Amino acid sequence: MSINSALDPLRSSVWRSLLTAHTKILDRIAEKLTQADLPPLEWYDVLLTLKEAPDNRLRLSELAERILLTRSNLTRLVDRLEKADLLYRKSCPSDRRGTYAVLTAAGLAMQQKMWIVYAEGISEHFASHISEDEAKVLQTICDRLLSNSAQINIKPKS
């Protein structure tokens, strides 16, 4: 299928279904976190991203690039996480304008606590509904889409 060809009804429908399933599953997982009296899913995304970073820290600009769930209002989200003592800001010694977000021990503990509920939600609302073979096919498709999106050079609007 050429990039310039019209989008066929099947792929259009699959795209819509993918987005709808994604949204509904995340909504159900978010509800489980709320019921467990845990912070919102956006917090988990930031905590996990910092946990996986070298020295559990990232410059705020790097954090914004790496998080998956919300890129808007990152500063306010970091403010809330800092107020909850789950991370702290640290000045970048090589660039006075740069600031790191650094995961605290409490932040790591919260990420691990949230993961228990998050993993249950993934299992209940996603993993238990697909076979091993379907999971492998979906992984192959997602890898291909991610590889393709990484190759696309988006030029800023002038």
What's 97's domain CATH number? 1.10.10.10
Model-level pTM?
0.84
If one counts the domains in the chain, the total is 1
Non-local (6+) Cβ contacts of 75 within 8 A are 60
pLDDT at 158: 41
- Residue 1 covered by a domain: no
pLDDT at 93: 79
- Residue 3 covered by a domain: no
- Residue 71 covered by a domain: yes
- CB of 60 closer than 8 Å to CB of 49: no
pLDDT at 149: 84
pLDDT at 108: 98
pLDDT at 73: 84
Q: Where are the beta strands (DSSP E) in 16-158?
A: 57-59, 87-92, 95-103
- Residue 15 covered by a domain: no
pLDDT at 71: 65
Low-confidence ranges of the chain (pLDDT < 50): 155-158
- Residue 73 covered by a domain: yes
Give the domain extent around 39. Answer: 20-151
